[in-house]
Structure 1
Amino acid sequence: MVTDGESGYCPTTGIYRSLFDSPPPNDHFVSLPHFLLLSHSAPPTRLAFVDAASGDSLSYADLRSLTAAAASALSSVGLRRGGIVLLVSPNSLYYPVLALAVLSLGAVLSTANPLLTRLELQSQVHHCDPALILAAAELTPKLEGLLPAERPLISIEPFIASLPRGTALPLPELSLTSRDPATLFYSSGTTGKSKGVVNTHGNLTAMAVALRHAWATTAEGPQRGTEASVYACVVPLSHMFGFSVFVCGAVASGATTVVLRRYGLEELLMAVEKHRVTRLPAAPPVVVQMAKSRGAGVASGCDLRSLKEVICSGAPIAREHLERFVERFPGIALSQCYGLTECSGPVTLCDGVKGRFHVSVGRLIPSVEAKIVDLPTGKNLPPNTSGELCVRGPIIMQGYLGNKEATSLAIDEEGWLHTGDLCYIDEHGLVYVVDRIKEFIKYKAYQVAPAELEEILSAHPKILDVAVISHPDEVAGEIPVACVVRKPGCNLQEDDIFNFLENKVAPYKKIRKVEFVEFIPRSPTGKILRRLLKTKASIVTHPPRKGYVSAKL
């Protein structure tokens, strides 16, 4: 296929190819743990993970030996190939150990945000039917009784403490294939309620290879080859963005990752100074908070000269915040990337793109191709023309667990994943996200499915009809807003709805404002016309109540 060398676009096929060189083949390593722990040349003594608070650390040798020991211990309690393990924990030094141990047994790792309520966790347990649960000690009370008595709920801290140290146990040897399922992360997909995304060992290994290749070939000076790279991890490892970057990409690259259990700006900046962090992947609220605090808060007292790049992803961020950040941190490049759980992590990177900040989300990662599709006609579009972004390559998920219909809607017969995002690719091969066709809301990089909140709110005895829409917010990116039709004669108030949702959803899913409307506009098939609703609702001209906009998780 003949392509334009600058944009990667082929006029004959309408397909864009990655402008990165193709990474070397990875035919020998099939399982993700075997690839990560056996295929790179990082010295065994190099630090793989460091706990920002305690200073405890794991070298690459420790990571391998503890993974093997954890796999042996999990096997002894009955975990077998194909069994699903639900991991519920904040970020921790041992999160990668547990994840890789599960995968090395041919079992499937499912993760849950530790902020989820018991009811939400119960729903996920019902859907994925795990063989066992691994949970941080403080989270075990809200997980007790969710599994049958014969299936263990294992507290992580004593489990890790019981593992032998310094042993040379081999990783399990299994006849896995690249199509064997590895992870089951939950995503809203293109529409509707949360779905279980099945990513294979081949998907995740391809992502690890692509990230290692992209970072190694674009780094300059002392960073070249990533030998000197030190990452700060404030993105949840339970999210595919965090998992793909820190467990797949950073480990494959032989980099060091400094793990923060929970995000706090002061703790983050102190970790950057202490551990000489060079790269920080982060959600937009972190970037906004850093920019606003510089010179007037904790940021002014920290030495951030080691930090070369901040990578922003997970939700839209306004240009004014990008400009403010680079003005206040002139020595730090601010880039963006774009990805989906269905794509096993990032689809684009700004690596190698010149400039102090990037409005685009970068170029397609190695081994990925894309097309921009005109929605009315289905035709492939040339550069600088907006349409739905579709991507194809070895990183594309196997499908949604137990949902063939949703899978077939997301992935067509030619293997193209329809992202549901309105984008264009310019003459330089840079991808720009214009809008979202899909309906979910991005609150502080967390996905909030309107359908889930609508289902809960529709059970309120005083609500006749309801729709949940998004509204832009400077701090959170977007906030969920409920448009409510009261039942006749009911004096339902905003606080009544806030109270109704209390303890029913995680903090990041909470409704931040309520608009009372006369009706919910719908199509003939009953689909909510959200764009029309946003136009009609007064939320467009009246900002949400301040106390709810800035509410902390």
Structure 2
Amino acid sequence: MAEDARNLLCGIPGLTTLSSRTLPHQSSPARRRAAVFNSPFPDVEIPNLSVFDYLFGSLDTASADRVALTDGATGEATTYGELVRQIEALARALAARGIGVGSVVALHSPNRPDFAVAFHGILRAGATATTVNALSTAGEMATQLTDSKAVAIIAADALFPVSAEAGKLAGVAAERMISLGEVDGSTSLADMVRETHPAQDVSFDPATHLAVLPYSSGTTGKAKGVMLTHRNLVANVAQSASLVGVTKDDRVLAVLPFFHIYGMTVLLNIALAQRANLVTMARFDLADFLGLIQSARITYVFIAPPIAVALAKHPLVAEFDLSSLRTVFSGAAPLDGSVGGAVAERLNCEVLQGYGMTEMSPVSHASPRGRTDIPLNSVGLTVPNIQCRIVDPLTGSDIAIPTVGVSEPGELLCRGPNIMVGYLGNDEATRATLDVDGFLHTGDIATVSAEGFVTIVDRLKELIKYKGYQVAPAELEALLLGHPQIADAAVIGVIDADGEEVPKAFLRLQPEATLSKEDVMIWVAERVAPHKKVRQVEMIDFIPKSASGKILRKDLRSKGALV
């Protein structure tokens, strides 16, 4: 592992080996600061409340009449008062079915207003929500259902067949299949909201009770259930809201999925906490996206870098009136500074960037609104209540924080009230990610400037990040090895012609194999969610491996970059 890390780090421009260099700004102890660096902002109070009580407990009469959610496709609006009424009604209906504290409920839906009802209804009932990627296959979803021990599924009508098949595979009772729309033979969310049940006494400790179980690949390997408590989610809204800068007067376009932790916390929960109007999009289409900004007079959008590239370069952008837009916030993957600058200039708006992980609920860093001194390629400043370190991944020793200039690169570690409890049923993976001092090892290589600006410069982890989605090479390798004509396989991330990181498979075929590259890509595409597709294939004579049998991805990266 140390050898892999060394070779990866040597690929960073200007970097040889962290432990073998001494830069001028590190030569004198007088020029160093403490290895642990805190947020430049004062700590915020984190109330000991459930997510529901934190977001809606202070709802007043004036706010109750404000529009909380607007369906971008139909224009149908839901006020804050109606949203809370539906959440409470769903929670009572779930409780009447024996679903509450100790239960896990899967939620399988793209963005739509009733996602918020379902999500917060589950939490209000005291149950734990495990959100499922809307693009998951039935097999992938069944694995998540089984691992999380989900006892019920709430699914969008369009996704109901996949959810029903997954439910059968995982042993979820048919009567606990709930549809967000109207599906023959199933109970609908609307039906449940119309039911009349007495209020339930739901009691739990927000500091320890699990609110959500999103699935993440962490720094490597297959997806694992990330245990996030009510306090984790409440903390991250409290930590991030003021920096993100959404206000009650904003109309926020929600195109990034709520089932992903970025959409769950930064779009859904922060927007609701601030009493903004959240306009939902079920899927990204550039023309529809631009049309909604124009027609709904959107003021704030949260995006991932591929959307930023379209905003910077696509000719269609010029055909719409986007003058209402004041802020674009990018996350889920690093945003190139030149692309961010092009978006800011073209749209005459502020462009911000943030950073986080599912394991951090997710935000640990953000560029605050109004800070023109922060470089566009930086993920900004550490949010309140968080401590960070940057360490040499080879030795574990802290890298000095400069009083001027920028630090050497190293792995970013974070500690704070938003950090996960651990991975569900996987103590080994938890220990590999959370150290004894409570610091989460992000697997990302970062620098920090004397001003506290953090920049992500590379990844130590093996994960491929395709359009903000994590793709685990090991999962694709296991699938490929199941093909009878494939003798050996390795998968890495390579940069394609559009600057996007994509999965590339290196394959050693069986002697009599007749597989083509196209055959392989089609075969994989039939078995995985779209973001996990293998998009490049190369046939080679052998897969390079170490003496212990570990794939030498560094050799493949060098080869892959030339193809």
Distance 1:102 1:433, change over 3 A: same
Measure the CA separation in 1 of the matches of 2:195 and 2:523.
Answer: 52
Aligned to 2:21: none
Over the aligned positions, Cα root-mean-square deviation in angstroms equals 2.3
Aligned to 1:317: 335
Provide TM-score, normalisation by structure 1.
0.89
Distance 1:148 1:113, change over 3 A: closer
**2:46–2:234 contact (8 Å) kept in structure 1:** no
Tell whether 2:406 aligns with 1:386: no
Distance 1:166 1:266, change over 3 A: farther
Measure the CA separation in 1 of the matches of 2:193 and 2:394.
Answer: 60
Aligned to 1:189: 218
C-alpha displacement at 1:39, in angstroms?
3.5
Give a deviation string over 1:35-68, Cα, whole Å, max 9, x none.
1111366711111111111111121111211100
Aligned to 1:333: 350
1:363 to 369, 378, 381: 381
Give a deviation string over 1:247-291, Cα, whole Å, max 9, x none.
221112222211111111121122212222221110111111122
2:113 counterpart SS class: coil
Distance 1:227 1:177, change over 3 A: closer
**1:443–1:476 contact (8 Å) kept in structure 2:** no
Aligned to 1:70: 90
Measure the CA separation in 2 of the matches of 1:92 and 1:102.
Answer: 16
In structure 2, stretches of 5+ residues that fail to align are 1-29, 183-187, 402-406
C-alpha displacement at 1:475, in angstroms?
4.1
Measure the CA separation in 2 of the matches of 1:166 and 1:35.
Answer: 26
C-alpha displacement at 1:482, in angstroms?
0.1
Task: Kindly provide the amino acid, as one letter, of the partner of residue 309 in structure 1.
Answer: T
Distance 1:472 1:80, change over 3 A: same
Aligned to 2:129: 109
1:466 to 489, 492, 495: 489
**2:93–2:193 contact (8 Å) kept in structure 1:** no
Distance 1:40 1:214, change over 3 A: farther
**2:152–2:172 contact (8 Å) kept in structure 1:** no
Aligned to 1:456: 479
Aligned to 1:162: 191
**1:22–1:366 contact (8 Å) kept in structure 2:** yes
Tell whether 2:293 aligns with 1:272: yes
Measure the CA separation in 2 of the matches of 1:405 and 1:513.
Answer: 33
Task: Kindly provide the amino acid, as one letter, of the partner of residue 135 in structure 2.
Answer: L
2:112 counterpart SS class: coil
Residues 333-352 of structure 1: pairs in structure 2 closer than 5 A: 333-352=350-369
Aligned to 1:36: 55
Task: Kindly provide the amino acid, as one letter, of the partner of residue 181 in structure 1.
Answer: L
Residues 174-185 of structure 1: pairs in structure 2 closer than 5 A: 174-185=203-214
Tell whether 2:413 aligns with 1:413: no
Task: Kindly provide the amino acid, as one letter, of the partner of residue 210 in structure 1.
Answer: Q
Residues 121-132 of structure 1: pairs in structure 2 closer than 5 A: 121-132=141-152
2:181 counterpart SS class: helix
Residues 20-35 of structure 1: pairs in structure 2 closer than 5 A: 20-27=41-48, 29=49, 31-35=50-54
Give aligned pairs, total: 518
Task: Kindly provide the amino acid, as one letter, of the partner of residue 140 in structure 1.
Answer: F
**1:334–1:356 contact (8 Å) kept in structure 2:** no
Tell whether 2:270 aligns with 1:241: no
Task: Kindly provide the amino acid, as one letter, of the partner of residue 439 in structure 2.
Answer: W
Measure the CA separation in 2 of the matches of 1:163 and 1:402.
Answer: 32
2:518 to 490, 495, 502: 495
Task: Kindly provide the amino acid, as one letter, of the partner of residue 302 in structure 1.
Answer: F
Task: Kindly provide the amino acid, as one letter, of the partner of residue 284 in structure 1.
Answer: P
C-alpha displacement at 1:300, in angstroms?
2.0
C-alpha displacement at 1:307, in angstroms?
0.8
Residues 175-324 of structure 1: pairs in structure 2 closer than 5 A: 175-215=204-244, 226-293=247-314, 296-297=315-316, 299-324=317-342
C-alpha displacement at 1:163, in angstroms?
4.8
**1:19–1:364 contact (8 Å) kept in structure 2:** yes
Between 376-385 and 507-516, the greater mean CA deviation after superposition: 376-385
Distance 1:382 1:325, change over 3 A: same
Aligned to 1:403: 426
Between 273-282 and 107-116, the greater mean CA deviation after superposition: 273-282
Measure the CA separation in 2 of the matches of 1:111 and 1:165.
Answer: 24
Between 114-123 and 407-416, the greater mean CA deviation after superposition: 114-123
Distance 1:204 1:72, change over 3 A: same
**2:466–2:502 contact (8 Å) kept in structure 1:** yes
Aligned to 1:549: none
Q: Equivalent pairs: percent with the same residue?
A: 36
